[in-house]
Amino acid sequence: MGGNNRSGRYSGEALTEVTAEGQRLGEVEQAFASLHERYLGADAGFHASYRIELDDLGLSWAVELDETECRVTVSPERDPDAVIGTDAATWLELREGQLSGLDAFRSRRLWARGNLDLAVAFECFFQRPHGRPPLLRIHEVRAGKARISTLSAGDGIENVILIHGLGSNKTSFYETVSALTPQHTVHAIDLPGFGSSSKPLRAPYDAAWFARSVCRFMDAMEIDRAHLVGNSLGGRVAIEVGLREPARVQSLSLLCPSMAWRRRRQFVPLVRLLRPELAAIPHSFGGGLVRQQFWSMFSRPERIHPSAADVAVEEFLRTYRSSVNARVAFSASARHIYLEEPGGPRGFYTRLRELEPPAMFVWGDEDPLVPLAFSRYVRDALPDARQVVLDQCGHVPQVEHPVDANALVHDFIGHAQASAAERAAKRLGRAARRLQGRINGGSTNGSGRNGKNPEITAEAA
């Protein structure tokens, strides 16, 4: 009889599990069936195909979007534009608007292949329940003649702009977007020439040109002032914005920023002769070489999830192979990094002394591209700048040490905000005292002394 009881108990547990799985499947099917009702539409001519794989259920769905319609089938295309993989519980949280795709990506509850911009943009096309807007959006911003692909999230008062490094794009800052959005409005951009932004063939692709593009982006978004966060080339661009438009920069968080080379400049004459237009000659990087270069940027590659390498390599190859313009943009940008003059009246380190916005430099102690030795030059030029060294860290701190790097950025932005508020309060106090002094001065007698309250006049003086 005891054996029969055990058998009955196990059967009950199995039945409960089957019932729960069936209920979850029903909820998932309903979520897919309601997608067309929540679809917000897209720009004219838009078309994208997705395959959604729910690993725990072993099932997948195809979703096709155009400018007016959303179609869902259970027969996925073999070669969609983007593949999104997750589990049923996460998918339901995403559809309910309890979780953003970036949060799921950050916590390794979601993976993607193919066009990553389209994968992340998926939730941007759908209302959340009760007519609530999406948690984030990917959109194009017209900045002068350039089109800048942008991921925007959050609804804080302060704006933060994230600027990627050479050969990368906004995907390198996805975890930073997720970490900062609870308190700030965050914009991760693709610099012109990279990612999904426009790629003008004859642009100079130097720091000054990129800085003007960032300022035009701010103008288009009606952002008067912002905190800038930049990695590698993006750090150099952020510095240039701070030098040219200091009033528009609230703080600079610079993660292994590109700096003018003081050594190994023996190849400058040769590099000057090698025009970036040579990159227009048909060629391509092999996936193996790109993957090798990707892993070389990290101090401890084992910390990086293998899917991150797949995403980064696929994105680089997709962009680099997409057009002649993309190859020229990459070549021209790399060339300007190497050729920048370090010294002289208008050399980089001479100009760096003029940087006004509060700046934090975060270095990796094992960075193979921007060695820690550059911190000495920064200390000479900007003795008041904050400098932080991350142990066992390579060239991309926000990817290799996301928790530490994002916490440093978050805290530095908060410190800059508090300092700015304190300075504003002091300015207001001084203005109030001057005003009070003028009021009191207007009631002085012929000798110039204030007969009513001489203490106030003395304090104002």
Domain limit, last residue, from 118, 151, 167: 118
The pLDDT of residue 451 is 42
CA torsion angle 5 6 7 11 (round to 10): 100
User: Rg of the chain's alpha carbons, rounded to an integer?
Assistant: 27
Domain assignment of residue 104, given as a range: 25-118
Both 316 and 226 in one domain: the answer is yes
Both 113 and 169 in one domain: the answer is no
Both 178 and 42 in one domain: the answer is no
Kindly tell me if the per-residue pLDDT of 32 is higher than 60.
yes
Classify residue 10: in a domain, yes or no: no
Mean pLDDT of 53-58: 91
The pLDDT of residue 286 is 63
Kindly tell me if the per-residue pLDDT of 86 is higher than 90.
yes
CATH code for the domain in which residue 277 is found: 3.40.50.1820
Please, are residues 363 and 387 in contact by the beta-carbon 8 Å criterion? yes
Domain limit, last residue, from 73, 90, 118: 118
* Helix axes of 306-320 and 324-339: crossing angle, nearest 10 degrees: 110
Mean pLDDT score of the chain, rounded to an integer? Answer: 84
Mean pLDDT of 59-79: 89
Both 100 and 219 in one domain: the answer is no
Both 205 and 88 in one domain: the answer is no
Please, are residues 260 and 233 in contact by the beta-carbon 8 Å criterion? no
The pLDDT of residue 447 is 44
The pLDDT of residue 458 is 30
Both 213 and 77 in one domain: the answer is no
The pLDDT of residue 277 is 56
AA letter at 325: N
Kindly tell me if the per-residue pLDDT of 407 is higher than 90.
yes
Six-digit token string for 125: 């096309």
Kindly tell me if the per-residue pLDDT of 338 is higher than 60.
yes
Classify residue 331: in a domain, yes or no: yes
Both 70 and 209 in one domain: the answer is no
CATH code for the domain in which residue 35 is found: 3.30.1050.10
From residue 200, how far is each of 2, 46, 138, 197, 324 by CA, in Å? 78, 22, 21, 10, 10
Both 83 and 155 in one domain: the answer is no
pLDDT bin (cut points 50, 70, 90) of residue 17 is low
Q: Is 345 exposed, middle or buried (0-12, 13-18, 19+ CB in 10 A)?
A: exposed
| SS3 state of residue 251 | strand
List the beta bridge partners of residue 317: none
Both 385 and 331 in one domain: the answer is yes
pLDDT bin (cut points 50, 70, 90) of residue 459 is very low
Number of structural domains the chain divides into: 2
Classify residue 8: in a domain, yes or no: no
Both 145 and 105 in one domain: the answer is no
Least confident of 5-9, 136-140, 338-342: 5-9
Comparing CA positions, the residue from 144, 106, 107, 140 lying closest to residue 124 is 140
Six-digit token string for 203: 């642009």
Classify residue 456: in a domain, yes or no: no
Classify residue 127: in a domain, yes or no: no
Least confident of 61-70, 91-100, 174-183, 449-458: 449-458
Q: Tens digit of pLDDT for each residue in 257-269?
A: 999 987 766 566 6
Least confident of 50-64, 273-287, 440-454: 440-454
Mean pLDDT of 360-368: 96
Higher pLDDT residue, 266 or 343?
A: 343
Kindly tell me if the per-residue pLDDT of 198 is higher than 60.
yes
Kindly tell me if the per-residue pLDDT of 421 is higher than 50.
yes
Q: Tens digit of pLDDT for each residue in 133-172?
A: 888 989 999 998 899 999 999 989 999 999 999 988 998 9
Kindly tell me if the per-residue pLDDT of 342 is higher than 60.
yes
The pLDDT of residue 450 is 42
315/168 Cα distance (integer angstroms): 8
pLDDT bin (cut points 50, 70, 90) of residue 453 is very low
Kindly tell me if the per-residue pLDDT of 461 is higher than 60.
no
70/84 Cα distance (integer angstroms): 16
Work out whether strand 185-189 and strand 386-390 pair parallel, antiparallel, or are unpaired: unpaired
Please, are residues 183 and 412 in contact by the beta-carbon 8 Å criterion? no
Both 153 and 268 in one domain: the answer is yes
